């Protein structure tokens, strides 16, 4: 890598960032000058004089302002309503003192009508459905409270009735200011009270002229002053909201400018980032190739040795295995020679198995690959004599299995996979020096992005076989060498030749699979084998899916950026009778659907590069409302999946999926939406 190029790019980046600071400073300076030069334009609020509604190009702010004003005033309004009910009821003491004969009528108004109404409105503020009606309700409360006072004036004896108008003035003060009622609604309530008072004072009571003139002067003045105060309160609230809106717009403009300037930094640094990525990739690739080369050289050496002696060794071992069988057939059951001859035969069988292990790890063993289900291998192993012998040798070990019911098939030699399973379970059992547990688990897995671990698991569909124990764990240094031939940490008196894990490695690599190891010393170890999925059926397979149950003739579009996934889905759906089209991206799907229609979509969620499944579906709905769809993804159900389902998509189908699960999801979605 050229050091001069790195320094040149770094200098360019520094200059670019300096330029950003200068341009931002200049923009801020110019913006301040422009604002100072035109204060009237910035401070003038576009409101209608009487109604205080936003006007002109800012009329769209009216509804957001009302929501915001309601939000910030709600707590205050609740308190005002509760306090209003308290004080309105409290003045009942004055009624009892000034007009004891009419106190029950006034108390009825205070305690049975007005105060409960105020508390009821306070309670309604907690119901979001009533929020749009709170302003007219508060105006009604002003009229109700003031009307109650006016009703008391009507029944109060002179001269008491001449002074109760002061209670209406208190209602004005409370309604126009503390209650936070809107200017229009509060004014409407206030003038209704003025009209009611005039009707009662002039037409229904014998109020002296001097008292009537005096009361009206204070009454109308209080109402007008309340309107002015209420107008000022709402105007200030609207001005604050308007200035906040202008500030948000200015911030957005500054953000856009900063974003444009940052693009210059991105363009300048891209070259350096690409060089660094290339260099890191090259170093990692060389390290990996070096490790693989060393492993291959070891395997080649062992393979050469095994291939050179395997024929002769097998000839020799045939005698050690076959002849003892013939001798045992002629010996009586109680012969003292049976035990030594059985020992000879067992030793010969172990030696023959070791030769086979050598050929396997050298990857020269001839083994035919067949389509099989690993769950069947696990069941066969758990019923085998080898498993019974393992349990007898390790009675303190509890072995459990958790097998996926819908496990997909693999294409592999059953002998080698059985040996791999046997080796891993045996090692797990021997790692348990005290009572513990070994768990055998299987699962389907779709890797959408490379998975970093002991191996780098490539994107694709896998059957994962996991062997987990609660034993002593594996040290970090040992994990690096665990698959080397003849490398073992087993102690004297315990089984092991050092070839078992090498056979595991060789078998998995023969299948183009991957291995991951998770181990903590003192806590246990888990081996995960990622074996590529095969879509072929097991020879004697009782299929769970009856084609006729899920057959259809509708048009289906599969949208997925992975060619293998498109081919698998298209083949499955084609077998079910559907007419299938595929698209490599969301953009291609949109282009196809401009002139065509399909009955249902099978959408992948992650499609790089380009728009994802959620955005694809959103755009399709704009052209084809009600479009049916199901979601297929290797990711866990996320917020994006829930979002596309809120838009109208149906089932979420986790990759890798079986024919049965895909067929059921498509059929059920078509029928659900059709009904």
Tell me the per-residue pLDDT of 35-69, one tens digit each, with 9 for 90 and over: 444 344 445 788 888 888 888 888 888 888 888 88
Residue in 136, 147, 197, 195 with CA at minimum distance from that of residue 171: 147
For residue 309, give Cα distances in angstroms to 286, 496, 499, 506, 575: 34, 21, 17, 20, 51
- Order of strands across the sheet that contains 652-654: 579-583, 555-559, 600-604, 628-633, 652-654
Q: What CATH number corresponds to the domain at position 467?
A: 3.30.565.10
Asked if residue 143 is part of any domain, the answer here is: yes
Last residue of a domain, one of 230, 261, 293: 230
Provide the residue range defining the domain that includes 514.
Answer: 368-534
Scanning 541-611, the segments in alpha helix (DSSP H) are 547-550, 563-575, 586-593
Same domain, 625 and 521: no
Same domain, 654 and 572: yes
The band of 312, judged by pLDDT with boundaries at 50, 70 and 90, is: low
Residue in 45, 157, 158 with CA at minimum distance from that of residue 102: 157
Asked if residue 13 is part of any domain, the answer here is: no
- For the record, the structure tokens of 165 come out as 């108008």
Same domain, 554 and 523: no
Asked if residue 10 is part of any domain, the answer here is: no
Same domain, 499 and 563: no
Asked if residue 655 is part of any domain, the answer here is: yes
Same domain, 443 and 568: no
Which whole number is the average pLDDT over 622-637?
Answer: 81
Residue in 98, 212, 94 with CA at minimum distance from that of residue 157: 98
Last residue of a domain, one of 502, 534, 566: 534
* CA–CA dist 68, 177 (Å, integer): 18
Asked if residue 158 is part of any domain, the answer here is: yes
Same domain, 495 and 574: no
In percent, how much of the chain has pLDDT > 70? 79
Same domain, 134 and 200: yes
Tell me the per-residue pLDDT of 468-510, one tens digit each, with 9 for 90 and over: 999 888 877 777 777 776 666 665 444 555 667 777 877 888 8
CB atoms within 10 A of CB 665: 21
Same domain, 529 and 552: no
- For the record, the structure tokens of 187 come out as 């004014």
**DSSP string of 328-348?**
HHHS-TT-TTHHHHHHHHHHH
437 CB-contact burial (10 Å; exposed 0-12 / middle 13-18 / buried 19+): middle
Q: What CATH number corresponds to the domain at position 633?
A: 3.40.50.2300
Checking if the pLDDT of 14 tops 80, the result is no
Same domain, 499 and 560: no
Tell me the per-residue pLDDT of 542-563, one tens digit each, with 9 for 90 and over: 444 466 677 889 999 999 988 8
Asked if residue 321 is part of any domain, the answer here is: no
**DSSP string of 198-248?**
HIIIIIIS---HHHHHHHHHHHHHHHHHHHHHHHHHHHHHHHHHHHHHHHH
Q: What is the pLDDT of residue 442?
A: 94
User: What is the number of helices (H) and of strands (E) in the chain?
Assistant: 22, 12
Same domain, 521 and 648: no
Q: What is the pLDDT of residue 294?
A: 74
Residue in 600, 621, 592, 586 with CA at minimum distance from that of residue 666: 600
Which whole number is the average pLDDT over 445-464?
Answer: 87
Asked if residue 161 is part of any domain, the answer here is: yes
Which whole number is the average pLDDT over 519-545?
Answer: 79
Structural domains of the chain, count: 3
374 CB-contact burial (10 Å; exposed 0-12 / middle 13-18 / buried 19+): buried
The band of 16, judged by pLDDT with boundaries at 50, 70 and 90, is: very low
Tell me the per-residue pLDDT of 249-287, one tens digit each, with 9 for 90 and over: 889 889 889 888 888 888 888 888 888 888 888 888 788
- Tell me which of 60 and 2 has the higher pLDDT: 60
Same domain, 515 and 419: yes
* CA–CA dist 330, 346 (Å, integer): 18
Q: What is the pLDDT of residue 30?
A: 44
Element (H, E) at 653: strand 652-654
- Tell me which of 31 and 299 has the higher pLDDT: 299
Asked if residue 153 is part of any domain, the answer here is: yes
The band of 361, judged by pLDDT with boundaries at 50, 70 and 90, is: low
Of 209-213, 326-330, 348-352, highest mean pLDDT: 209-213
Same domain, 527 and 579: no
Last residue of a domain, one of 230, 249, 266: 230
* CA–CA dist 375, 405 (Å, integer): 9
* CA–CA dist 69, 93 (Å, integer): 36
Checking if the pLDDT of 535 tops 50, the result is yes
Q: What is the pLDDT of residue 6?
A: 42
């Amino acid at each position: 890598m050229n050091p001069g190029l790195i320094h040149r790019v770094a200098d360019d980046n520094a200059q670019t960032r300096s330029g950003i600071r200068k341009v931002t400073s200049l923009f801020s300076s110019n913006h301040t000058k422009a604002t100072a030069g035109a204060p009237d334009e910035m401070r003038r609020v576009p409101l209608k004089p009487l109604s205080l509604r936003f006007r002109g190009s800012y009329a769209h702010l009216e509804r957001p302002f009302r929501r915001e004003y309601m939000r910030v005033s709600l707590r205050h309004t609740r308190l005002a309503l509760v306090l209003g009910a308290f004080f309105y009821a409290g003045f009942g003491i004055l009624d009892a003192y000034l007009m004891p004969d009419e106190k029950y009528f006034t108390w009825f108004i205070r305690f049975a009508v007005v105060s409960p109404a105020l508390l009821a409105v306070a309670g309604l503020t907690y119901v979001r459905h009533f929020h749009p009606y709170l302003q007219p309700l508060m105006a009604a409360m002003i009229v109700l409270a003031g009307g109650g006072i006016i009703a008391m004036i009507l029944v109060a004896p002179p001269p008491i009735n001449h002074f109760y108008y002061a209670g209406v003035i208190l209602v004005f003060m409370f309604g126009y200011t503390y209650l936070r009622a809107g200017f229009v609604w509060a004014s409407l309530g206030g003038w209704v009270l003025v009209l009611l008072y005039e009707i009662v004072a002039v037409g229904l009571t014998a109020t002296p002229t001097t008292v009537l003139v005096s009361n009206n002067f204070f009454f109308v003045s209080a109402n007008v002053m309340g309107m002015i105060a209420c107008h000022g309160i709402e105007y200030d609230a609207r001005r604050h909201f308007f200035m906040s809106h202008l500030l948000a717009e200015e911030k957005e403009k500054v953000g856009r400018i900063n974003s444009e300037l940052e693009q210059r930094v991105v363009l300048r640094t891209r070259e350096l980032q690409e060089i660094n990525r290339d260099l890191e990739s090259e170093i990692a690739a060389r390290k990996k190739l070096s490790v693989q080369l060393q492993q291959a050289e070891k395997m080649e050496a062992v393979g050469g040795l095994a291939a050179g002696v395997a024929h002769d060794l097998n000839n020799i071992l045939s005698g050690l295995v076959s002849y003892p069988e013939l001798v045992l057939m002629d010996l009586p059951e109680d012969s003292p020679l049976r035990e030594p001859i059985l020992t000879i035969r067992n030793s010969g069988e172990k030696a023959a198995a070791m030769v086979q292990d050598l050929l396997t790890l050298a990857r020269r063993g001839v083994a035919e690959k067949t389509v099989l289900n690993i769950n069947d291998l696990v069941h066969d192993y758990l019923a085998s004599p080898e498993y019974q012998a393992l349990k007898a040798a390790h009675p303190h070990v509890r072995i459990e299995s958790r097998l996926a019911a819908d496990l997909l098939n693999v294409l592999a030699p059953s002998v080698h996979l059985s040996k791999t399973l046997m080796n891993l379970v045996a090692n797990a059992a021997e790692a348990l020096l005290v009572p513990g547990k070994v768990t055998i688990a299987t699962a389907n897995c779709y890797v959408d992005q490379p998975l970093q671990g002991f191996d780098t698991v490539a994107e694709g569909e896998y059957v994962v076989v996991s062997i987990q124990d609660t034993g002593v764990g594996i040290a970090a240094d040992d994990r690096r060498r665990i698959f080397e031939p003849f490398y073992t940490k087993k102690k004297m008196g315990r089984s092991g030749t050092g070839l078992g894990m090498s056979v595991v490695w060789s078998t998995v690599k023969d299948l183009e699979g991957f291995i991951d190891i998770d181990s903590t010393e003192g806590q246990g170890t888990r081996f995960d084998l990622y074996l590529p999925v095969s879509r072929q059926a097991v020879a004697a397979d009782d299929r769970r899916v009856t084609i006729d149950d899920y057959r259809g003739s509708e048009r289906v579009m599969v949208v997925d950026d992975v060619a293998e996934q498109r081919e698998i889905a298209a083949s499955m759906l084609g077998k079910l009778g559907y007419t299938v089209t595929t698209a490599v991206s969301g953009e291609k799907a949109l282009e196809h659907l401009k002139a065509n229609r399909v009955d249902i979509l099978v959408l992948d969620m992650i499609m790089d590069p380009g728009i994802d499944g959620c955005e694809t579906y959103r755009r399709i709905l704009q052209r084809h409302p009600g479009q049916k769809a199901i979601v297929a993804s290797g990711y866990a159900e996320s917020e994006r999946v829930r979002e596309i389902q809120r838009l109208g998509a149906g089932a979420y189908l986790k990759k890798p999926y079986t024919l049965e699960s895909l067929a059921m999801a498509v059929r059920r979605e078509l029928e659900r939406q059709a009904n």
